[in-house]
Amino acid sequence: MAESQRVKSFMCIALFSICLLQCNPIAFAILDPVDFLALQSIRKSLNDMPGSNYFASWDFTSDPCNFAGVYCDSDKVIALNLGDPRAGAPGLTGRIDPAVGKLSALAELSVVPGRIFGALPQSISQLKSLRFLAVSRNFISGQIPAGLGQLRNLRTLDLSYNLFAGAIPTAIGTLPELSNVILCHNRLSGSVPPFASQTLTRLDLKHNNLSGSLAPNSLPPSLHYLSLSWNRLTGPVDGLLNRLGQLNYLDLSMNQFTGTIPGRVFTYPITNLQLQRNMFSGRVQPDGQVSISTIDLSYNRLSGEISPLFSTVQSLYLNNNRFTGQVPGSFVDRLLAANIQILYLQHNFLTGIQINPTAEIPVSSSLCLQYNCMVPPLQTPCPLKAGKQKTRPTAQCNEWRG
């Protein structure tokens, strides 16, 4: 009798499901069992941080396609955005379960900032449809899985602000569709691999421990944003920079780059050029009038006279180099007209500037001339790092002229 009752119950459920499908086939979709089980595993390995209610909607007695951050197409999960995306919202804690690799149709995977730890699962390399992978600002460690180089459709890779160590897998550089690679603020070492994608527009590798040199053809001319600062990169970059004519942001500061700075770079549509604290040397001669608003070439080994073509720059840092000769008069004119906000020329070997000692520097402008081979014609406030000495010792100036 009991068995007969169970059969009748099953038949009732089946008939009810058929009725639902016939009455409203679009509204009723059953998630692929593999995806269903994968979401369960992912849920078990993660928890809301205090103040976060992201998982409140993850009730597996209801349709998972209605869960927060889960997006489906038919019976497959195509996007998974883990965590509350609102600014300042607490994130998640725990680990990313390897079952994420079972979501075979997944095209987008993101994790909000939080306290997720452990390694990035190797199984992610099974997601052949993945186009967007962003798991920044957590505590994910270990190496970047080399298998990510198998994701031929990947366009955005953002693993920034984590604890990744080891080398950047060479295979990632071979991905043909990459447009954004953001790996900054990790503990990555080794060299920068060549990137083949001709659609790559953003490459951000700053604040790592990368070393070695960059070949002239290692990065594509499609780049708009390039930041390699705070690494240990070496060698010349003039050949590389001459090919990157679409750059609008360039930061190579805090490395050990050598050689000359190509004049063509100063004609690029860049708004902010950061090349400070390297070992660049030689003369700096822009190919034309410079329209970049901020240029920092400080703490290098640049020499020769300062080009008047730099006088149109609003914030110019040329301090702590080996520049010689007179400061061009065009700088003085624009400084007094308040068209220059910052002009730092301290710690060079400059011999003069044609400015009236009674001239008043506009309140909005800063000029520092100390520790050169001249007595500053007027006293202006300088940064504390400039020191207290107003002029460079005569012996140093004579030695440099000699």
- The tens digit of pLDDT for each residue in 298-316 reads 999 999 999 999 999 999 9
- Is it the case that residue 26 has pLDDT exceeding 70? no
pLDDT at position 36: 97
CA 67 to CA 65: how far, in whole Å?
A: 6
Q: How does pLDDT run across 108-147, given as a tens digit for each residue?
A: 999 999 999 999 999 999 999 999 999 999 999 999 999 9
Q: pTM of this prediction?
A: 0.91
pLDDT at position 9: 36
User: 387: Cβ–Cβ under 8 A, 6 or more apart, which residues?
Assistant: 370, 371
Please check whether residue 133 is in contact with residue 158, taking contact to mean a CB–CB distance below 8 angstroms: yes
pLDDT at position 5: 42
Average pLDDT over residues 41-51: 97
Q: How does pLDDT run across 50-64, given as a tens digit for each residue?
A: 999 999 999 999 999
Q: How does pLDDT run across 369-402, given as a tens digit for each residue?
A: 999 999 999 889 999 999 989 999 999 998 877 5
Q: Following DSSP, what letter does each residue of 314-368 receive, concatenated?
A: SEEE--SSEEEEEEPHHHHHHHHTT--SEEE--SSEEEEE---TT----TT-EEE
By percentage, how much of the chain surpasses pLDDT 90? 88
- Is it the case that residue 14 has pLDDT exceeding 50? no
- 7-16, 207-216, 279-288: which has the minimum mean pLDDT? 7-16
- In eight-state DSSP terms, residue 26 is T
- 1-15, 128-142, 318-332: which has the minimum mean pLDDT? 1-15
Phi, psi at 146, each rounded to 5°: -60, -25
- What residue type is assigned to position 130 of the chain? L
pLDDT at position 245: 96
- Is it the case that residue 33 has pLDDT exceeding 90? yes
pLDDT at position 372: 96
Confidence of residue 88 (pLDDT cuts 50, 70, 90): confident
Q: Number of C-alpha atoms within 13 angstroms, CB side, residue 380?
A: 28
- Report the mean per-residue pLDDT for the chain: 92
- Is it the case that residue 289 has pLDDT exceeding 70? yes
Q: How does pLDDT run across 158-187, given as a tens digit for each residue?
A: 999 999 999 999 999 999 999 999 999 999
Confidence of residue 89 (pLDDT cuts 50, 70, 90): confident
pLDDT at position 17: 38
Third-level CATH fold of 33-303: 3.80.10
pLDDT at position 272: 94
